[in-house]
Amino acid sequence: MSDKMKIMLVFGTRPEAIKMAPLLHKLREYPEIFDVKCCVTAQHRQMLDNVLETFSITPDYDLDIMKAGQDLTDITSNVLTALRDLFKTERPDFILVHGDTSTTMAASMASFYAGIKIGHVEAGLRTHNLYAPFPEEFNRKMAGMVANLHFAPTQKSAQNLINEGVDSQKIFITGNSVIDALYFMTDKLDNDADFTVKIDHEINSQLGFDWQASQYILMTGHRRENFGVNFINICRAIKHLSVKYPSTQFIYPVHLNPNVIKPVNDILADCPNVHLIKPLNYEPFVRLLSKSHIILTDSGGIQEEAPSLGKPVLVMRDVTERPEAVDAGTVKLVGADYENIIRHVSMLLDDNAYYQSMSGAHNPYGDGTTAEQIVKILENHKAD
């Protein structure tokens, strides 16, 4: 019998894949210690596959659950059933899950039922409001409830777990592996000219203007609690801004969720300086992030990446589980509020002092060594 530690990473969406890729690769550097398997639920299909290709990941198991227009019950029940069946033949010592998606929650539950230990990466983020973001606050609390090891990105996220009664011996502050992924990509873009030319061609083929010579705002949006009237407000604010600032370009890679695509197309398709494009692969997205003037988003991961790049971020949410970048001054919460979005974008475009106050580079989420730290901690728990 092998005395290697059997580890299975389980993830399903674009952001989980980006943040788990560095950990998967780092674990595989130690084949004498770890027997590593990668299981994707494919809660996302195309957006996941793009990341798998970027980071050269071939999953050992693909549960292939995505359905167009899936609801939360579809995701949860399909992940639970598929993992129950997989765990009948594959018995890892530990599964590793990431963050707060329904894949994370259901995979944690399936492992708990099967008596398999759980390591939760990006643990302890909280808004303390169960409905914002929905259902992510619930998902991460559920994962935290059954996890055996909690890899918290910051002191604040570790403290949230301690406040909930989690044994402090099981909590490790490791930074966030999104910074590992970001540095991997920015290093490549900075040091490999042929690679950058290729990525720039990829961007050019999607955008019909000279983005390198233009001032542009990069935006994304997909939160479930923003569906409906909030998304309409966001799009109307962008439309207003695009008329007010005709020489500023707005680049918007639109999430594939039909609840997002419809209002975005209905309201913004005819604006000449708003460029609605398909979700970008991680390489061109990081390239565009690093050259953007302002970022407008409701994303979690982008709130972590942008401070490292020194970019002002306006977050179209009322609360955030990532207060570190707000404290550092690079992130501001503007809600999904028509007037507020217009006011803050206008201030950033018109008032240079205000812009400068939000654009210093900060690194609250680590130094790019998160994967390495987690691997060491896992090795120390081999005998558990």
Q: Which is nearer to ligand UD1, 115 or 258 (CB)?
A: 258
Q: What residues form DSSP beta bridges with 216?
A: 249
Read out DSSP for 218-246? EE----GGGTTHHHHHHHHHHHHHHHH-T
Which H helix or E strand runs over 357? Answer: helix 352-358
Which H helix or E strand runs over 316? Answer: none
Among 282, 295, 311, 364, binds ligand UDP (CB under 6 A): 282
Candidate list 224, 327, 343, 367, residue with the active-site label: 224
Binding of ligand UD1 by 258 (CB under 6 A): yes
Among 105, 142, 302, 358, binds ligand UDP (CB under 6 A): 302
Among 4, 25, 30, 70, binds ligand UD1 (CB under 6 A): 70
Site string for ligand UD1, 71-110 (x = CB under 6 A): -x--x------------------------xxx--------
Question: Which residue type occupies 379?
Answer: E
CB of 30 to ligand UDP, least distance (A): 26
Binding of ligand UD1 by 186 (CB under 6 A): no
Read out DSSP for 360-382? ----TT-SS-HHHHHHHHHHHTT
Binding of ligand UD1 by 45 (CB under 6 A): yes
Q: Which stretch binds ligand UDP (CB under 6 A): 140-148, 227-235, 298-306, 307-315?
A: 298-306
Candidate list 136, 137, 298, 324, residue with the active-site label: 136
Binding of ligand UDP by 279 (CB under 6 A): yes
Nearest to 231 by CA among 153, 315, 148, 316: 316
- Within its chain, how far is the Cα of 192 from the centroid? 25
CB of 124 to ligand UD1, least distance (A): 16
Among 59, 92, 135, 253, binds ligand UDP (CB under 6 A): 253
CA distances from 264 to 228, 234, 242, 269, 344 (A): 11, 9, 14, 7, 21
CB 365 within 8 A of CB 300: no
Nearest to 236 by CA among 257, 264, 210: 264
Q: Residue 177: how many CB atoms within 10 A of its CB?
A: 31
Candidate list 44, 98, 150, 255, residue with the active-site label: 255
Out of ligand UD1, ligand UDP, none, what residue 44 binds, judged by CB under 5 to 8 A for its kind, is ligand UD1
Query: How far is it, in rounded angstroms, from Cα 252 to Cα 130?
Result: 29
Q: Annotated catalytic sites, by residue? A: 100, 122, 136, 222, 224, 255
Name the residues that contact ligand UD1, by CB under 6 A: 13-15, 43-47, 68-70, 72, 75, 100-102, 135-136, 222, 256-258
